[in-house]
Structure 1
Amino acid sequence: MGTAAGRVLRLWDRNGSCAVRLTQRTDLKRGLCSKGQEDSAQKPMGTASGQSKLKMPGHQITNWDKKVLVWSGRFKKAEDIPETVSFEMIGAARSNIRVKVSYLMIALTIAGCIVMVIEGKRGSSRQKTIVSQNIERKMKLTEATEQDISAKP
């Protein structure tokens, strides 16, 4: 049985199946599946300090970016922020703000649910249910309709 499975795997390997090639633990540098891995294996040539000779341009800061950097805790005051910062720093600050906003929305959702439960319990103790409110509304509508019909000659 092992040889039949091996034959099937070899046939799939010839057809270019990436998943089968990864499960076989063969040389990953051949075929189309390894193109990204070969690119990531090559590292840029750097100087003695490990830094690249070419410096990437920084991100020009807007007023909104200044607020994001201060809110995320990267800088204490807006005056401390330089004119340009790295793309990684502004991206990390935006991600930090996204997380804080999502936590805030989770907290507000939970608070809203608790308020609705409390209001529902208060309403049920006063016999104020949605069904009774709908019945009252329909009675008012039928009375208004009857008055409009009787008012017309």
Structure 2
Amino acid sequence: MWAAAGRAIGILERNVPSFLRPTKQINLKAQRSFCSKSQEGSKHKHEGGGQSIFRVPGHKPTDWEKKVLMWSGRFKKVDDIPETVSFEMIDAARNKLRVKISYLMIALTILGCIVMVIEGKRAVRRHESLTTQNLERKARWREEIAQSASAKP
């Protein structure tokens, strides 16, 4: 069975133009993931130092970045933050803070929905609706127009 399938593929490959045929050196395996840490290890190393060529040893955080590091829970006080920190630490703190803010926004959205439902039920008990409000507003407009028309000689 597999031999027949192999022969069929061979026949089909002969009918494909040469510019459409992949070469043997190309790896056609589809990669469906984000960059991983294993790829970082493939960077060239210094012969003596053992550190990556592209790695920056440290970054002096700004006041805003210090606040982000503190709010994300990385450090308790601004005084605890070292003079230089890695970009990875700042990036991780930003991501953590971003997640916290999104959770807060979700909670506030749910709270706002609950408040609106409660207010809507109260308005129904008072027999208030958009229809009655619109009818009252239009009646007031008609009265104003009638008054302005009767005031003109």
Q: TM-score scaled by structure 1?
A: 0.72
| Equivalence for 1:85 | 85
Q: Please, which runs of 5 or more residues in structure 1 have no aligned partner?
A: none
Secondary structure, aligned partner of 2:150 = helix
Q: Percent identity at matched positions?
A: 52
Secondary structure, aligned partner of 2:127 = coil
Amino acid at match of 1:143: E
1:45-84 equivalences under 5 Å are 45=45, 51-52=51-52, 56-84=56-84
Amino acid at match of 1:97: L
Report how far residue 133 of structure 1 moved. 0.8
- 2:146 is equivalent to residue 141 of structure 1: no
Report how far residue 15 of structure 1 moved. 1.9
Contact 2:69 2:75 in 1 (8 A): yes
Distance (whole Å) between structure 2 residues aligned to residue 129 and residue 91 of structure 1: 50
Deviating beyond 3 angstroms after TM superposition, the runs of 4 or more aligned structure 1 residues are 1-14, 26-30, 40-43, 46-55
Q: Alignment length, in residue pairs?
A: 139
- 2:97 is equivalent to residue 97 of structure 1: yes
| Equivalence for 1:107 | 107
Q: Residues 83 and 105 (structure 1 numbering): CA distance in 2 closer, same or farther, change over 3 Å? A: same
- 2:20 is equivalent to residue 15 of structure 1: yes
Report how far residue 28 of structure 1 moved. 4.8
Q: TM-score scaled by structure 2?
A: 0.72
Amino acid at match of 1:110: I
Contact 1:72 1:93 in 2 (8 A): yes
Distance (whole Å) between structure 2 residues aligned to residue 96 and residue 88 of structure 1: 12
Secondary structure, aligned partner of 1:150 = helix
| Equivalence for 1:150 | 150
Distance (whole Å) between structure 2 residues aligned to residue 6 and residue 116 of structure 1: 67
Q: Which stretch has the larger CA shift, 135-144 or 57-66?
A: 57-66
Contact 1:60 1:85 in 2 (8 A): yes
Contact 2:43 2:52 in 1 (8 A): no
| Equivalence for 2:128 | 128
Q: Which stretch has the larger CA shift, 93-102 or 6-15?
A: 6-15
Q: Residues 51 and 125 (structure 1 numbering): CA distance in 2 closer, same or farther, change over 3 Å? A: same
